[in-house]
Structure 1
Amino acid sequence: MADLEKETAGDEEVPSAASTLFDLRTVIALLFGVFGLLLVIIAITDTPQAELDKSGGLHMNLWSGIVMLVVAAAFFLWMRLRPNT
């Protein structure tokens, strides 16, 4: 019995596909990615001059979308590089 416990204690536990899919970091990354992509598409296709004038000439949808895509990529990297933390 003690030998069995020693053998399994040294093995690393591999996360299942379901636990990886429903990891909070994955859900957050997907949400940031989808909303960021939508903002980038909206900024490229439909940004009236009135909105640019309100924001001082900045494409706020474009910059917000890019930041959200970077945050999504960071969450995905965090999940892939440190899955058990």
Structure 2
Amino acid sequence: MSEHNSESDLQKEITELETKSATAARLFDIRRIIGGLFVLYGVIVMIAGFTASDADIDKAQGVNINLWTGLGMLILGLLFLLWLWLRPTAPPPPPTDENTPTT
């Protein structure tokens, strides 16, 4: 009876570790990091574009380059986050070890 309980406890622990591993894989997905950074920097550069002086715009031949660059960065970041939302990370496959108990 105690052997059955230890196998059950081991299976529960394996399931818990697999869940934590899948959560960590989704949390540190590179698309989330890149998308988040591009959104953050895009907002910062857009704010700089809204506060640009006429002299700054004249230096760039009449184009508010900070505003357009910030908008492009914001769109790119949102596309990365949309990609993450539409195609989430698949959980890792369970290990195929002969010593792993099966149910």
The correspondence for 1:70, drawn from 51, 75, 93, is 75
1:55 paired with 2:76, answer: no
- Greater Cα radius of gyration, structure 1 or 2: 2
How many percent identity over aligned positions? 37
Runs of 4+ in 1 over 3 A off after TM superposition: 14-17
Aligned residue number for residue 99 of structure 2: none
State the number of aligned residues.
71
Tell which has more relative contact order, 1 or 2 (C-alpha 8 A, sep 6+).
Answer: 1
What is the CA–CA distance in structure 2 between the aligned matches of 1:48 and 1:20, rounded to whole Å? 42
TM-score w.r.t. the length of structure 2 is 0.62
Structure 1 unaligned spans of 5+: 1-13
What is the CA–CA distance in structure 1 between the aligned matches of 2:62 and 2:23, rounded to whole Å? 45
Aligned residue number for residue 44 of structure 2: 38
> Could you tell me how far 1:84 is from its partner in structure 2?
3.2
Aligned residue number for residue 29 of structure 1: 35
Q: How big is the alpha-carbon RMSD for the aligned residues of Structure 1 and Structure 2?
A: 1.9
Q: CA-to-partner distance for each residue in 1:6-51, whole Å, 9 max, x for gaps?
A: xxxxxxxx8833222210000000110110000111111x212221
The one-letter code of the counterpart of 2:69 is: S
